Every structure is written in C-alpha cells, then in structure tokens.
Amino acid sequence: MNTKEAVLDILNDLTGEDLSDRMDENLFDTGLLDSMATVQMLLELQENTGITAPVSEFNRDEWATPNKIIEKVESLKNE
C-alpha cells in the first residue's frame, strides 16, 4: 500500500467520508478532524507507515488537508 492509499484509508475510517476527491479540503475547518481524531490519525499513521510523528511536535497547518498529510508523511519517511 502506498502512502496516499494508507493516508486515505485512515482518514476515511476516522471521518466516515470518502475524501479521495477532496484532497485539498481543510479537515479542521470542516470539523472532520478534532483533537481526538488527530491523535488517532497520528497513531495509525505511525503504525501503518512506520513514521514517527510526536503529538508534541504536531503543527495543524502542516497536516490540514489530505494532500498535506501525504506530503508530511512522505517527508518523515525520508528523514
């Protein structure tokens, strides 16, 4: 499974919505992600992609849309 598929699977499970055609939608502004869902997302991303993404270093602007999340995960995988 590639990063995009992994991120969308996690987001779709957390939000209950198919976000594949809404890749630039701000998930916080729309209320699809709250703080609890964000923590769950980070934990699942760490488990499914092998990245390390501490909640203490979480920047909402960098993780606001599906595309930004994919970009951030890819950058963390390359560190």
Residue 54 has pLDDT above 90, yes or no: no
For helices 3-15 and 35-49, give the axis angle rounded to 10 degrees: 150
| Per-residue tokens: 42 | 């980070």
Mean pLDDT, the chain, rounded, equals 94
> pLDDT tens digits, residue range 17-44?
999 999 999 999 999 999 999 999 999 9
**Which of the 8 DSSP states describes residue 64?**
S
What is the rounded distance in angstroms from the CA atom of residue 10 to the CA atom of residue 26? Answer: 16
Confidence (pLDDT) at 79:
81
What is the rounded distance in angstroms from the CA atom of residue 28 to the CA atom of residue 21? Answer: 17
Please give the model's pTM, rounded to 2 decimal places. Answer: 0.93
